[in-house]
Amino acid sequence: MAPKGNNMIPNAHFHKDWQRYVKTWFTQPARKYRRHLKRLQKARAVAPRPAKGPLRPVVRCPSVRYHTKVRFGRGFSLDEIRKAGLNPSFARTIGIAVDHRRRNKSIESLQLNVQRLKEYRSKLILFPRRINKKLKKGEATEEERKLATQLQTVVMPIKKTTRKIRARKVHEAEKKFSAYTALRSARADVRLIGLRAKKAKEANENAEDLTKIPKVPKVTDKAPKAPKAGGKSGAAGKDAKGAKSPAKTGKDAKGAKPAAKPGKDAKPAAKPKEAKPAKEAKPKESKPKEP
């Protein structure tokens, strides 16, 4: 086969007596059998306890990339042990792994592992430490002990659940929904929460000040008026749009100050100037053209 990709062209030089550097794995089958014998020896030593170790909690993998996956944890937290009605030191003696460093960051994980402990406790056959003495609370009788068998697999494995979604009709709201718009609006709400709270507070404190009241867009249900029949809508529209109201000047202007009241120190107001009459334009005489 031809090489793939922009890689280095293989050009190996076997000039270093390569037979000396070859490592063989002829002992692999024997090691496999040796590991099998060790597992059997360990299972006989811990019998009738589970061969694959103690009960472990169900936890979420760390980081955003893997937090949707579930796996076994190192041990149950102290809160989970106490919520299940057990003592941490006693829990270690009945095949429950305990990790005093672990902290529960959600109620769901706490409830899940507490339920897991209670289920394990209900299925557990607890052998007494001393058979000849009187049985304590929770210890199994002789008949129950005869029914006990050693578990060769993991204690209470994780069950993978798959949800089947049925086909259905797509609603109008789902068609109009935009994930981009929803995300941008949510980010804007978080960014502007302080500014909006400040404006609302100022509006409550200064109820009479109209400038502090937040603007609300006007919504009108009126339909636009239809143009009159027979009229030139284009010319009329331009004249109407281009017409401007006469600007206020002088005393009628918006920014004009009110006149001061007469008093001792008040100066007499200046008399308004009389407007001069406009000059009449003389009509131009048109000279007759010569033939």
Long-range contacts from 60-66, C-beta under 8 angstroms, 24+ separation: 60/109
| Residues 85/96, Cβ–Cβ less than 8 Å | no
What lies within 8 Å, CB to CB, of 121 at 6+ separation is 84, 86
Per-residue pLDDT tens over the stretch 236-245: 444 445 445 5
| Residues 74/99, Cβ–Cβ less than 8 Å | yes
pTM over 0.85: no
Decide: residue 124, CB within 10 A, 0-12 exposed, 13-18 middle, 19+ buried. middle
Concatenated DSSP letters of 168-211: -PPPHHHHH--HHHHHHHHHHHHHTHHHHHHHHHHHHH-SS-GG
| Residues 80/106, Cβ–Cβ less than 8 Å | no
Rounded Cα distance, 129 and 136, in Å? 10
pLDDT band at 228 (very low <50, low <70, confident <90, very high): low
**What DSSP element (H or E) covers 58?**
strand 58-60
pLDDT at 201 over 80: yes
| Residues 43/152, Cβ–Cβ less than 8 Å | yes
pLDDT band at 234 (very low <50, low <70, confident <90, very high): very low
pLDDT at 259 over 60: no
Rounded Cα distance, 56 and 91, in Å? 12
Paired tokens of 137: 């609370």
- Percent of the chain at pLDDT > 90 equals 52
Give the sign of the dihedral formed by CA 149, CA 150, CA 151, CA 155.
Answer: positive
Q: What is the residue type of 238?
A: K
Per-residue pLDDT tens over the stretch 97-156: 999 999 999 999 999 999 999 999 999 999 998 888 888 888 888 888 888 999 999 999
Greater pLDDT, 275 or 45:
45
* Domain boundaries, given as residue ranges, for the chain: 29-146, 176-212
Mean pLDDT score, 76-84: 97
pLDDT at 213 over 70: no
pLDDT at 151: 92
pLDDT at 252 over 60: no
Average pLDDT, the chain: 82
Greater pLDDT, 218 or 120:
120
From the CA atom positions of the chain, what is the Rg in Å?
Answer: 46
Greater pLDDT, 230 or 115:
115
Mean pLDDT score, 215-224: 59
CA angle 263–268–270, rounded 5-degree value: 150
